[in-house]
Amino acid sequence: MSCHSPIQDMFCRVLVPMATQTPHLMNALLSLAATHRLTLGMDQSMSELSHLKASSLRQLQDALARPGASLDESVVATTLTLCHSDFVSDGRSPGSWRSHLQGTTAIISSYLEKSKASPDSLTNTMSLLWRWYLSIETVALLTGNLVMPNDSRALLQMRKLISDDKIDDLAGFSSSLGPIFKKINRLAIEADLALKQDETHFPADSDPKNRIPLSVLDESYQLINEIHSKMGPQERRFRPTVDASVHK
């Protein structure tokens, strides 16, 4: 994730005022800050970090359990913060970020369905949270074997309309890479599953390519061609609203 000053200012403008009104988001942000201190090698109490994270989770669960509770931007922000905290925790909670990312996907999907939001109607806050989610998901897909739930109709529409070749100043790369990484991850899972299912029917030294379904191979070759087409000379463009200082 990019850390240049416009993005830092954007996060502060969006998250800090929201956190002052939302205890579960405040504790989640403090937990992320404490995690960051640890990754920098600074002195940080582990019991304090555990308390902040547990408090955020408990408060989030209590907020969602209240009668008439609805998903809002603060809930999405809290789940993203907790997920990001686990993602950068330097192996202290191996694999926990996967379940948090899946939960975050479900919450964002439900929010989009209920709010009937579209790219043109997203608030500045939700636009930032959506891009934050996409940046975490894209990097997470590079770890391999990440089983993600199927997209809802609203989530699928949002991906299709927002993913383009423009560079996202928050993620630091083109938002069109996300769908490519997702395809690679899915094909890798399908190929691995096919190899495991057939390992008793083929000699151990047989060519693995002969044991992978043709549909997976065909789609893999198509994906390779798609990637090659994106590697040619292209004008690199940022999103239209990006601060000019980012280009320097």
In whole angstroms, what is the distance from residue 178 CA to residue 219 CA?
17
- Spell out the per-residue pLDDT of the chain, length 248, in tens: 556 777 788 888 999 999 999 999 999 999 999 998 988 889 999 999 999 999 999 999 999 888 877 778 899 899 999 988 888 875 666 667 777 777 888 887 787 777 766 656 667 788 788 888 888 877 777 776 566 656 656 566 666 655 556 676 676 677 777 778 888 878 888 888 777 776 666 555 566 667 788 888 888 888 888 888 777 666 666 655 555 454 45
| Cβ atoms of 154 and 118 closer than 8 Å | no
* Predicted local distance difference test score (pLDDT) of residue 60: 93
Contacts 24+ apart (CB under 8 A), 78-81: 78/22, 78/24, 78/25, 78/28, 79/103, 79/104, 79/107, 80/104, 80/129, 80/132, 80/133, 80/136, 81/15, 81/25, 81/28, 81/29, 81/31, 81/32, 81/56
CA-to-CA separations, 134 to 36, 79, 207, in angstroms, rounded: 21, 13, 36
H or E element in which residue 129 lies = helix 124-141
Which residues face 238 on adjacent strands? 167
pLDDT tens readout for residues 72-114: 889 989 999 998 888 887 566 666 777 777 788 888 778 777 7
* Predicted local distance difference test score (pLDDT) of residue 3: 65
Q: Look up the pTM and report it.
A: 0.74
| Cβ atoms of 27 and 63 closer than 8 Å | no
Amino acid at 178: G
Token digits of residue 152:
């809802």
Amino acid at 223: L
In whole angstroms, what is the distance from residue 180 CA to residue 182 CA?
5
Of 67, 160, 145, whose CA–CA distance to 112 is shortest? Answer: 160
| Cβ atoms of 138 and 98 closer than 8 Å | no
